[in-house]
Amino acid sequence: MIENIIYPIQGEMAKTLLFTEDKIWLSGREISSLDKFQKVIEKPGMMDAVESIDINSIYEIIFKENSATLKIKYVNSKGKNKNLVPTFTSEEKAVIIENYLEQKLSLKRTVNQENKTKPLLVNMLIIAGILAVSIALGLMEDSSEMDSSTTRKNRLGAEVIKIVYDTIGPTGIILIGIASSLFVGYKALKRYKNPDSEIILSR
């Protein structure tokens, strides 16, 4: 059972989540104990605002395998469709919660496998960009050739690149580019061979 257990979460305005028999409670504070959370529910203060979601209003849950994030779709008290997208502290906790809600609400499970080609193409473009930038920087004779943009953010970025260039030199830049490309290529190949599966639980 997951009821009456405190769950720290990220990805939401809330930082703490609590399941009771028929509701999901959310608090914007980090609350460490059940007693404290129950006191906040009973007597919320200015700094202890809580929100509740009727569990029976949930009509769909979407998540990916090996992910600690759930997308919970529900209907609020005003009849509007809303999303709750909490990220839990581990994949295991997310799995426990989605299994609990699947059984409690008698949801139907559908598994859609990710399109393998699209992420592969995206990663190939990233690799091409990394190699192009590293080669362009490596072929420069001096860091003074770098263009400094007028925006503060880009000027800062250019200064950081100049420091790196002056520290490790053009050969080091190219080697870092190659190493980064190989890493991205490895991750892309691994994802291509083992594509993610999107799981949808719905009524």
**pLDDT score of 47 more than 70:** no
**pLDDT score of 164 more than 80:** no
* Every domain range in the chain assigned CATH 2.30.29.30: 6-106
The answer to whether the pTM exceeds 0.75 is no
Cβ proximity of 18 and 9 under 8 Å: no
Using the structure block, give the residue that is written with the tokens 């859609």. Answer: 112
pLDDT, tens digit (0-9, with 9 covering 90-100), for 129-158: 999 988 888 887 666 656 555 555 566 667
What number does CATH give the domain 6-106?
Answer: 2.30.29.30
SS3 labels along 172-198: HHHHHHHHHHHHHHHHHHHHHHCCCEE
**pLDDT score of 32 more than 90:** no
Amino acid at 31: I
Task: Give the mean pLDDT of 104-115.
Answer: 89
